[in-house]
Structure 1
Amino acid sequence: MNKKIMPFINIYSLFTIFYYFFGRYDWEIPSYSKLFLWIIILLVSLNMGYYFKYEFTFKKKLNNGKVIEEREDSRVLKTDYYKLFVISCLSIIIFQVIWVVTVLGEFNVINIFESLGSNYYERLDFGKDESALGMQIRTLFWGLTLFAYPIGFVFFNSLKLSGKILLFVTILIDMIAALNMGISKNIGDIVIIYILSVILKKYVHSPSKKKEETNKKKILIVILLFLTMFGAIQQSRDETKGMSSQNQLFSNFSTVREDTFFDVMTFNNVGLVSTIDRMGVYVSHGYTGLAFSLETSFQNTYGLGFSRALMDYARQYLGIELMTKTYMSQIEASYGWPNGMYWSTAYVWFASATSFLFLPLAMFFFGYILSKVEKRFSVYKDVYSLAFLAQLFIQMVYLPANAQIFQSRSALIGIITLSVIYVITGRKIRR
């Protein structure tokens, strides 16, 4: 099997590293060389796990006629899969409307761009919304929502017309919900899963070279559209806070470079440079938190430090306060890097559970799991491994940012749900 996912992640990771070291900000951190060394160690560990040679669980079944037949029919979406797709789409629509109405009191579809910034900060001030019954239901069943986009994008050609319309409506409602809240994450996740679907379609179809070039153009167009929307959302937030630029956000931790590599490459196009800087800083500023954390001692969080939701549960049900022991809280106290406002990379979250000593091993394991799930989908084209793979891919993209798929309670319950389903369905496949 040709590896599809990790080459894309490597290119993306190298961009975030390059931008951090040579982008708009000259960061004031303890050691650039120490930070760079650790980033490389962790990226290499991830790749070692991904490319680790092992006996594939389902290898013996590749010579079984039934399995070969399933592979040949993989372009046809099974009835059960289609039903799951419909349920998942409807779940997104219902749960996102509940979310917005619970926090803001209404689901606005008209003047959403006028209140992007104010709604974002209103959401932050709202506090805990898990107490509302609708939100509790949303949290418990969030796992249902994680099938719609992977199935819809990868098996788009197999969907009925009604299914394609439902997918479009789902995306529209999800995007409107995100804009109501003044956030870009939901939209970003849709883009990330779309990119993954283009990568994975090679397992389902055998595209011609012309089709592959078309797919690359589609990815580029989708990314550009997202960057444009992302820039508008960030600008709206800045204007709400009375900030003229992002420079004011990190003034205590960096100085601004007047000229960068990206200025030269874009011929000093102000609009384009501004968009690149916003996105570049967004995906790379977490390395500053990592640099500070490398100078901080480990405090035991009993393996729960990688998830804010898990630590919330520990405080709620066991009366144990663990957040203050994480690297994120420690560097806020020592260096002033705000926990929850600025990122510290997913590496720091995972290290809060394992310590930096065992972090390379954890990243090796993460890469191994990613490869195993990808291999299963490449053989069986099952939507359970597909949905699980989509969430793992999102986390890979968010490695320079945070442990995205484990943070909120709904996200945590969702990934646990997918993990359990993945294991159970895997046993059925082996039988």
Structure 2
Amino acid sequence: MTKPQKIFNIWIFGTLFLFYYGPLNYECNKILAVGYIVLFMFFANLFYYIGTHVRIKNPYPRKKIRHSTEWIIKMSIYYSFFITLACVIESSMKYGFSGFSFSTIISKMANSYSFQNDYVFMVSIWILSFTKWIRVIGLVLGSLFWFKIDKKQRVLYLATCLLIIIYNTLFLGSQKELIDLVIYMFLPILIRWSKEDKKMKIWKVLLTVVVFCATCIFLGSVINARHELWKEMFNSNASTGADYSNWIYKILPNSIADSITYLLSYLTQGYRGLALCLTLPFKWAYGMGSSFKIMNDISRWFSIPLSILEVSYPVRMEAIYHVGAYASWHSIFPWIASDFTFLGAIIIVSIFIYYWAKSWKEFLKCGSWISAVMFIQLTIFVLYIPCNNQLFQTRDSIVSTVAIFILWYWYHGTKHVNITSEVNL
């Protein structure tokens, strides 16, 4: 069993354990969700095995890359910096710039998320929604080949990361953007370390654990701050539904346990939605059930009433069980099942697991940059399986995933001999 597969199994079964034995009380048939996920894990591990053991018959790409890896990294980093800077400047002109400080980032993110301005068309954000895949390439490759890029590119790379944090803090308040940034930056570092050391040195393991724990604590704090703000500003008495006799509250102080519980609600509530949706009959969602963004666009483009198209499992589940279709998470399965049935959803998600595994194998064997980008993009897909259909929620994530898959399809057999071979990939 390779490292990604081990982590995948620990992640899914870990969140499933916290769903069943965690501090949150969910009114649903938990056994139904557990049984479904166990069945999915059988198919997922089977498809992963096939992906890592399939023989690469043709080690050459369908299309030849005309530019070197160095040129691709340089151009993608330059583009990432200028498009992100444009987003910050244009948003500041529209909404004002309230100042940025790392000491107030949690409270500002809570405010930004809770008081998002009405949508205003902005050229830079519109462009980014179709070209974010270039920024993904820049973030992944800049980190993967950090010691092979020049100082100017390193400065622009770090500046881009800072601009993403500033833009998200002041204008979005989304945890997703920061989670994606951590993945795009830190996962390539882990890949480099795993290639350099068969057994990573203690300090690298400890740093990985610290980054993971710090990210979890930070996200839990942001969620906690957001709920506290809602209580203060909207007189909301919303409760986490936590069981204070649970083992988490017995081993941790209440303040820390509350933050962790808020975080766990995001990691486990998807299984509740899954359990509730599993009780409903199938009704085809016209091929749009997997993405409410596509559904909304089709409704707007063709002047079709949204009520006619909104027949996905989560929407029908909300009408019966009064659990928000969009406000809550329901794992990825009910969305895909809206078009392919729940058994079909298992197969569809397992196919993504197959490509995740195959791109990992090809990256190790060929060292091609697009295989690395493909693997890391699909890692986000895998990470959010218990939560939602993350890669299909927004235009930028849909376009990025499709663009990266097309690039991988064309160029994934490319073997690089310059910058790639120097880091022994």
**TM-score under structure 2 normalisation?**
0.85
CA separation in 1, counterparts of 2:317 and 2:86? 35
Residue 25 (structure 1) aligns with: 24
- Which of 373, 382, 387 lines up with 1:401 in the alignment? 387
Deviation per CA, 1:132-183: give whole Å up to 9, x if none.
3333212122221111221122222223222322222222221222222222
Change beyond 3 A, Cα 1:182–1:406: same
Contact 1:92 1:174 in 2 (8 A): no
> What is the aligned length?
402
- Aligned pair 1:108/2:99, yes or no? yes
- Aligned pair 1:149/2:149, yes or no? no
Contact 1:183 1:233 in 2 (8 A): no
Residue 12 (structure 2) aligns with: 13
CA separation in 2, counterparts of 1:100 and 1:24? 40
CA separation in 1, counterparts of 2:108 and 2:187? 32
Opposite residue 381 of structure 1, the aligned amino acid is: G
Residue 174 (structure 1) aligns with: 164
Q: How much has 1:249 moved relative to structure 2?
A: 4.0
- Aligned pair 1:414/2:400, yes or no? yes
- Aligned pair 1:94/2:85, yes or no? yes
Residue 352 (structure 1) aligns with: 338
For structure 1, the residue ranges without an aligned partner over 5 or more in a row are 63-76
Contact 2:224 2:262 in 1 (8 A): no
Residue 69 (structure 1) aligns with: none
CA separation in 2, counterparts of 1:34 and 1:268? 30
Q: How much has 1:276 moved relative to structure 2?
A: 2.4
Deviation per CA, 1:82-126: give whole Å up to 9, x if none.
324423531562354167447744363246555432321222x62
Q: How much has 1:315 moved relative to structure 2?
A: 1.5
Deviation per CA, 1:326-361: give whole Å up to 9, x if none.
111111111111121111111122112211131221
CA separation in 2, counterparts of 1:114 and 1:52? 46
Contact 1:385 1:422 in 2 (8 A): yes
Change beyond 3 A, Cα 1:146–1:213: same
Opposite residue 400 of structure 1, the aligned amino acid is: P
CA separation in 1, counterparts of 2:258 and 2:243? 13
Residue 44 (structure 1) aligns with: 42
- Which of 376, 384, 406 lines up with 1:390 in the alignment? 376
Q: How much has 1:370 moved relative to structure 2?
A: 0.9
Change beyond 3 A, Cα 1:82–1:268: closer
- Which of 353, 366, 371 lines up with 1:367 in the alignment? 353
CA separation in 2, counterparts of 1:363 and 1:141? 25
Contact 1:373 1:385 in 2 (8 A): yes
Q: How much has 1:429 moved relative to structure 2?
A: 6.5
Change beyond 3 A, Cα 1:256–1:208: closer
Contact 2:368 2:412 in 1 (8 A): no
Matches within 5 A, 1:46-195: 46-52=44-50, 56=54, 58-59=56-57, 61=59, 78-91=69-82, 93-94=84-85, 96-97=87-88, 100-101=91-92, 104-106=95-97, 108-110=99-101, 113-123=106-116, 126=118, 128-129=119-120, 131-180=121-170, 181-195=172-186
CA separation in 2, counterparts of 1:395 and 1:240? 30
Opposite residue 73 of structure 2, the aligned amino acid is: Y
Deviation per CA, 1:287-326: give whole Å up to 9, x if none.
1111110011222123321112221222123344465111
Contact 1:88 1:144 in 2 (8 A): yes
Residue 287 (structure 1) aligns with: 271
- Aligned pair 1:207/2:193, yes or no? no
- Which of 229, 234, 237 lines up with 2:218 in the alignment? 229
CA separation in 2, counterparts of 1:92 and 1:222? 28
Change beyond 3 A, Cα 1:291–1:323: farther
- Which of 243, 250, 269 lines up with 2:253 in the alignment? 269
- Aligned pair 1:305/2:289, yes or no? yes
- Aligned pair 1:338/2:328, yes or no? no
CA separation in 1, counterparts of 2:413 and 2:296? 33
Contact 2:132 2:396 in 1 (8 A): yes
Contact 1:346 1:403 in 2 (8 A): yes
Opposite residue 41 of structure 2, the aligned amino acid is: L
Change beyond 3 A, Cα 1:149–1:26: same
Contact 2:314 2:330 in 1 (8 A): yes
Contact 1:95 1:138 in 2 (8 A): no
CA separation in 2, counterparts of 1:213 and 1:389? 26
**TM-score under structure 1 normalisation?**
0.84
CA separation in 1, counterparts of 2:80 and 2:188? 17
CA separation in 2, counterparts of 1:132 and 1:164? 28
**1:343 aligned counterpart, secondary structure:** coil
CA separation in 2, counterparts of 1:425 and 1:8? 27
Percentage identity across aligned positions? 19
Deviation per CA, 1:231-279: give whole Å up to 9, x if none.
33223211221169xx95466xxx5312223234xx3333432332222
Residue 63 (structure 2) aligns with: none
Opposite residue 122 of structure 2, the aligned amino acid is: A
CA separation in 1, counterparts of 2:400 and 2:328? 24
CA separation in 1, counterparts of 2:59 and 2:130? 36
RMSD: 2.9
Contact 2:392 2:398 in 1 (8 A): yes
For structure 2, the residue ranges without an aligned partner over 5 or more in a row are 61-67, 417-425
